Amino acid sequence: MRSSDLPEVRDLQLFRSMSEERFAELMQAAYLQTFPAQLDLITEGDSADFLYVVVEGCVELYACWNERQATMGMVHPIGTFILAAVIKDAPFLMSARTLDKSKILLIPAEDVRHVFEADSDFARAIISELADCYRGMVKEHKDLKLRSAVERLANRLLGFEKEQGGTGELVLPYDKRKLASMLGMTPENLSRALNTLRPYGVDVDNNVVRLNDMAAVKTLAKPTALIDDKDT
């Protein structure tokens, strides 16, 4: 497809430093496709044939083992997923499905590896992207290892509230079952954790949450940039 058809993708940090010629080379066999909600895109264990770029919608990354399933993360526009598997030509460690109706750019993995070898600016951008992903995984691991379920939930609510304008009110971006899975909880544990937060001024009305005593929630949550700041 023509690289001029993808202005939003061109602005992605991964592609920003590429020359127009290299970007056009990378996009020559790529294609943009719209997928319905709840459609499986990749399955863990399969080979990486494409690099995926979420242009619109949302994609859920998840993993399964011994009849258990856990949400590993959400990918929003403009974001990529399974970059490490593409570069290493290795099997997927996670599965992915669309959470909402999503528009996704698929770039052949062989083309990504070819341009990675030929373009030093692109290679550096990929290394930076993978470093950001690694640091994000360390923060998630610290969140799970060092905090109680209530502390994880309180910090996640503070993060949602900040992302949505800092008004003291937020709308849960995912259903409670997926939110529980993201936080390493069962749905029942999430319900108990929400009830535990009520004395701290947290009111829940379906998917709307009001943080009526921000100071109390922060005292409980003890947010830190080394876990909660995406830019650190």
Q: Which CATH number does the domain housing residue 209 bear? A: 1.10.10.10
Given this model, what pLDDT does residue 8 score? 81
Q: Could you tell me if 69 and 117 lie in one domain?
A: yes
Asked whether the whole model's pTM tops 0.95, one would answer no
- Buried (b) or exposed (e) across 88-117, using 16+ Cβ within 10 A? eeeebebbbbbbeebebbbbbbebbbebbe
How would residue 186 be classed by pLDDT, with cut points 50, 70 and 90? very high
144, 175, 207: which is the final residue of a domain? 144
Looking at the fold, whether 50 and 102 belong to one and the same domain comes out as yes
State the pLDDT confidence band at 4, using cuts at 50, 70 and 90. low
Peptide bond into 78 cis (omega under 30): yes
Same domain, 118 and 181: no
Q: At 5, is the pLDDT very low, low, confident or very high (cuts 50, 70, 90)?
A: low
Distance CA 42, CA 173 (A): 23
Question: For the chain, what is the domain count?
Answer: 2
40 and 120 co-located in one domain? yes
**Is residue 37 domain-shared with residue 137, that is, in the same domain?**
yes
* The last residue of a domain, from among 88, 112, 144: 144
Let me know whether 93 and 176 are in one domain. Answer: no
Q: Which domain holds residue 61?
A: 3-144
CATH number of the domain that residue 27 is part of:
2.60.120.10
